[in-house]
Structure 1
């Protein structure tokens, strides 16, 4: 099961990388169109704004799973291994509560955005809001579950390494 989860999270990470490539090409097209043909792409700002938010949360669960988030470890590296595992579990509990909390408070705006036909942009180019709202909601839940998995590992005493190696 762990291998399947790791592959699914890698798939989200790769999807985020593909989205980054698409956004880069879109911005290049916009700049080239503006420079050479005086015809920029009308929706670049809207698509880039939505894409950057989605890109961030597509890659978040993978980064959490591989413990590659920015961490300040000057204190935690100096405590005994058993306490280190418990403190890591506490930190991941805070992360899990944050992501699940974000999902809970985002549920109603996602439903309202879907029902009302909310969009980003102006009349020249519109991006529907509901795919971004529901997409980030699902990705927050996934990120929260990854954090909760680490809470369980920490309570079992498996988050004692000083480096960021994954527990086995």
Structure 2
């Protein structure tokens, strides 16, 4: 079990780092666009399209790691007042709702993703096009990963191992 946790942590951290790399790339792209616009009156034509699609990707690349590290916003004034066993069950319920949410949006995105692939859908205009299907399928995979992370917490909560309100009890 410990080896699987180690590989899970590494995989989720890898996704998180990939999101950070995308943010660094976006920063460089925006700087290039601004410099091109100001110095040469020639901005990069695809900055808006790439930035719009990459921001969606960054969000979901980093979400599973943030969930696993329990770094999402939490309002725990109710949980603080519950006995530890009940607190663990409520935490399990919250993560179950999170898993249901991620599975629902992944499932609802299945048909649009296939339609985007079959139809050649793209984001942008004639000057710069970004195909839609890689982003759609990529987000579905990342939503599924986020759901699996949530389901892991559901299992721990049902075992009574999520009694703390701020961090996971080991």
Q: TM-score, normalised by structure 1?
A: 0.98
Q: CA RMSD in A?
A: 0.7
2:140 aligned to 123, 137, 142, which one?
Answer: 137
Gaps of 5+ in 1: none
- Alpha-carbon deviations, 1:33-59, whole Å to 9, x = none? 001100000000000000000000000
Partner of 2:65: 62
Q: Determine the C-alpha separation between the residues in 1 that align with 2:121 and 2:165.
A: 47
Q: Determine the C-alpha separation between the residues in 2 that align with 1:45 and 1:37.
A: 18
Query: Secondary structure in 2 aligned to 1:71?
Result: coil
2:43 aligned to 13, 35, 40, which one?
Answer: 40
Q: Determine the C-alpha separation between the residues in 2 that align with 1:144 and 1:163.
A: 20
- 1:92 matches 2:62: no
- 1:13 matches 2:16: yes
Partner of 2:158: 155
Q: Determine the C-alpha separation between the residues in 2 that align with 1:162 and 1:16.
A: 27
Partner of 1:30: 33
Q: TM-score, normalised by structure 2?
A: 0.97
Partner of 1:117: 120
**1:161 positional shift:** 1.2
Q: Determine the C-alpha separation between the residues in 1 that align with 2:44 and 2:158.
A: 52
Partner of 1:52: 55
Give the count of matched residue pairs. Answer: 167
**1:167 positional shift:** 3.6
